[in-house]
Structure 1
Amino acid sequence: MSDPRHDAVLFDLDGTLYHGARPIPGAAEGVNGVRAAGTPVRFVTNNASKAASAVADHLAELGIPADTAEVSTSSQAAASVLGERLPTGATVLVVGTAALAEEVAGAGLRPVREASAEVAAVVQGHSPDTCWGDLAEACVAVRAGARWVACNVDPTLPTERGQLPGNGSMVTALRTATGRAPLVAGKPEPPLFRAAASSAGASSALVVGDRLDTDIAGAVRAGLEALVVLTGVTTPAVLLAAEPAERPQYLAADLTALTAPMGELRIGPQPGWTVDAGNSALTVSGNGAPLDLLRTLCDVAWRNGHHEIEALDRHSRAALAELGLS
């Protein structure tokens, strides 16, 4: 990718580069292509369970060389938020992994695991080992008036086994128990993206991700352009129904598309397809690439409201079937 409009690329990880321990085909090729073009890359993840160094090591194992300094995590963002709001040495109850506790300590704060009168804040990030006892300690602290910061509120976490409960599911349990809501440090809030872009010296970075409600919504809030890939949770039907605050500028099947000119990936009218907005349906005709049809459909649907889709010829019916929109 070589595009003067984007001076860095901020990659999501889960669902974009890999599913758990399984790399997504084409991911390494796409990232390496961006590097070869001389564009800085950053890896931005809402997963707070691993240290940045561990994330970099995992990427390297998947054929994507990465420096620790290129990794931005929601645990780093949460620790930064706490460091800005608490005095040095303040006590923070950690619900999450040792990596999250290390980030808290690195911000000049004292991480603990049990509620007490000294606890000034609670920070909550994903850990597969979080249990009722952890949430109970956090509940006591939050009810006593401690600040509450969530690394992210993703309801699910993509893995090689499919979508499993994410940090947001645990956050919801604590919200129910306390009647409180946390300050969110990671996506879709903009600070994580802004910090990643700033570390690359970028002012117009491109965000690449698979989730509309985190990756794309976060890019919109941060004032950055975004590319959505269909390797994670977003489907063509979900994309067509996207609200304005969750709409990307670009669409690709996977990261191999980053070797193509960005103009070819832009959502809008595409060669080979005609989409008309009628009173009750979008009528489709033509004979081009199915993904170009989706780019055209999104453009028309977003400008005219989401409608039913009617194919006027066999090529259109085949393309819609391939997209799962028939």
Structure 2
Amino acid sequence: MAQPLLDRYDCLLLDLDGTVYHGSEAIKGAISGIDAAHAKGVAVRFVTNNASKAPDAVASHLRHLDVPARTEEVATSAQAGARLLGQMVPAGAMVLVVGTEALAAEVNGVGLRTTRTYSDDVAAVVQGHSPDTAWADLAEACTAIRSGARWVACNVDPTLPTERGQLPGNGSMVAALRTATGASPDVAGKPEPGLFTEAARAADARSPLVVGDRLDTDVAGAEAAGMDAMLVLSGVTTPAEILAAPEGQRPRYLADDVAAVTSTAEALAVGARPDWRIDVGDDELRVAGSGEPLDLLRALCPLAWRHGISRASGTTDTAKAVVNTLGVGDIDYR
């Protein structure tokens, strides 16, 4: 008998940007999926790489979008960054903050002092997303890093999904400092496992499921933490990128959005589907049959990953149409 997904896991670790919302708009299906988890007694934790807001502000924003959320259900990369700094430098050390006041407050909360300008007593730099970060902020951090300060990045996501599309994320600003200093930061957020493991511990979860829209942060972070992952297509990742996913970034489940948590685990898992027949060619996967596009993507994944072939072609008009819908037929993305 098919097992409901929510019977298999006791906690959902949900990414936010691209999974639950785009900026000021909730993503279709997110609220119903979260409501279903709560009704089933499955814990929910909102785990975000965005370090710009305090947990209470994140929870308030979610509630404004009609997403049920409590402050204690929110885990941010700012919290993870502050915890990491607390392990790296002595109590009371001075930390130069590139980011919001919410990030500075988290750093203060672990017993460290904060500043916005370089001085000889700066022991570390912490960098998190802020829409107000400017050249002058990066210049202060550059000076500190070049002078030997430790460097922690809350996350390295290159883009931030919004209702306007993909905009520069913290990783883009981190890249500027990498170029200017020749140094690389210690990363506190996803794909490092700590953010997930701490959120699961806080929820007293033994079998959590990570749900997110990015291969290189959400899925890779789940893999690093030893957790299963469901990738949703409501954010930045395309079907072609999923077929080309390297080891360590391959989700167990695929879904359109969070509402899919009400389905069975078997329906969501990558693997063969009876409605689709796939033959492996020298440089493409040949598809016949008919059915849902997402089911075809689930069926293509194991073969694409095993054989290193991420291009598909339809052998019938119906199959060609679905392959084109997925966008995996015209370009070899290997």
Please classify the TM superposition score into its range, dividing by the shorter chain length. Answer: over 0.9
1:213 matched to 2:233? The reply is no
1:306 matched to 2:287? The reply is no
1:57 matched to 2:60? The reply is yes
Name which of 118, 122, 125 aligns with 2:125: 122
Give the match for residue 163 of structure 1: 166
Instruction: List gaps (5 residues or longer) in structure 2.
Output: 330-334
Give the match for residue 40 of structure 1: 43
Contact 1:42-1:196 at 8 Å conserved across structures: yes
Give the match for residue 193 of structure 2: 190
- Greater alpha carbon shift after TM alignment, 302-311 vs 213-222: 302-311
3-state SS of 2:8 partner: coil
- Greater alpha carbon shift after TM alignment, 225-234 vs 253-262: 253-262
1:73 matched to 2:82? The reply is no
Deviations 1:68-99 (A, max 9, x none): 11100000000000112222111111000000
Give the match for residue 174 of structure 1: 177
Identity %: 60
Corresponding letter in the other structure for 1:197: A
Matched pairs, number: 326
3-state SS of 1:202 partner: coil
Compute the displacement of 1:4 (Å).
4.3
Instruction: List gaps (5 residues or longer) in structure 1.
Output: none
Corresponding letter in the other structure for 2:228: E
Name which of 317, 322, 325 aligns with 2:320: 317
Distance 1:59 1:132 in 2: 31
Corresponding letter in the other structure for 1:57: S
RMSD: 1.2
Contact 2:108-2:114 at 8 Å conserved across structures: yes
Distance 1:168 1:233 in 2: 15
3-state SS of 2:160 partner: strand
Compute the displacement of 1:323 (Å).
1.6
Corresponding letter in the other structure for 2:105: E
1:291 matched to 2:294? The reply is yes
Q: Using a 3 Å threshold, how does the CA distance of structure 1 residues 251 and 2 change in structure 2: closer, same or farther?
A: closer
- Greater alpha carbon shift after TM alignment, 281-290 vs 104-113: 281-290
Distance 2:284 2:91 in 1: 59
Give the match for residue 112 of structure 1: 115
Corresponding letter in the other structure for 2:156: V
Distance 1:281 1:2 in 2: 32
Corresponding letter in the other structure for 1:204: S
3-state SS of 1:59 partner: helix
Name which of 109, 118, 134 aligns with 1:131: 134
Contact 1:227-1:250 at 8 Å conserved across structures: yes
3-state SS of 2:248 partner: helix
Contact 2:243-2:310 at 8 Å conserved across structures: no
Deviations 1:207-242 (A, max 9, x none): 000011111111111111100011111111111111
Corresponding letter in the other structure for 2:82: A
1:91 matched to 2:94? The reply is yes
3-state SS of 1:55 partner: helix
Q: Using a 3 Å threshold, how does the CA distance of structure 1 residues 316 and 2 change in structure 2: closer, same or farther?
A: closer
Distance 1:307 1:269 in 2: 16
Distance 1:86 1:238 in 2: 39
Distance 2:285 2:137 in 1: 51
Deviations 1:276-295 (A, max 9, x none): 11223211111221111110
Distance 1:111 1:32 in 2: 39
Compute the displacement of 1:19 (Å).
0.7
3-state SS of 2:288 partner: strand
Residues 235-274 of structure 1 mapped to structure 2, 5 A cutoff: 235-274=238-277
Corresponding letter in the other structure for 1:293: L
Give the match for residue 280 of structure 2: 277
Contact 1:271-1:288 at 8 Å conserved across structures: no
Corresponding letter in the other structure for 1:317: K
Name which of 231, 235, 238 aligns with 2:234: 231
Give the match for residue 140 of structure 1: 143
3-state SS of 2:31 partner: helix
Corresponding letter in the other structure for 2:306: R
3-state SS of 2:114 partner: strand
Contact 1:2-1:39 at 8 Å conserved across structures: no
Compute the displacement of 1:274 (Å).
1.0
Contact 2:313-2:323 at 8 Å conserved across structures: no
Contact 2:103-2:128 at 8 Å conserved across structures: yes
Corresponding letter in the other structure for 1:270: R
